Amino acid sequence: MTDCLLQPATRDIDHHRLGELAHRIWHEHYPGIISREQIEYMLATQYDTETLSHQQSEGTRFVLAWIEQTPVGFAGVSPDEEAAEIVWLDKLYILAAYRGQGIGRRLVDWARHTGAELDADALCLRVNRHNTASVAMYEHAGFEIEREDVKAIGHGFVMDDYVMRMPINQA
Q: What is the pLDDT of residues 38-64, one digit of tens each?
A: 999 999 999 999 999 999 999 999 999
Q: Where are the domains of the chain?
A: 5-167
Percent of the chain with pLDDT over 70: 98
Residue 10 clears pLDDT 50, i.e. is over it: yes
Q: What is the pLDDT of residues 15-24, one digit of tens each?
A: 999 999 999 9
Whether 90 and 9 have beta carbons less than 8 Å apart is answered as no
- φ, ψ (nearest 5 deg) of residue 8: -55, 145
CATH class assigned to 5-167: alpha beta
Residue 171 clears pLDDT 50, i.e. is over it: no
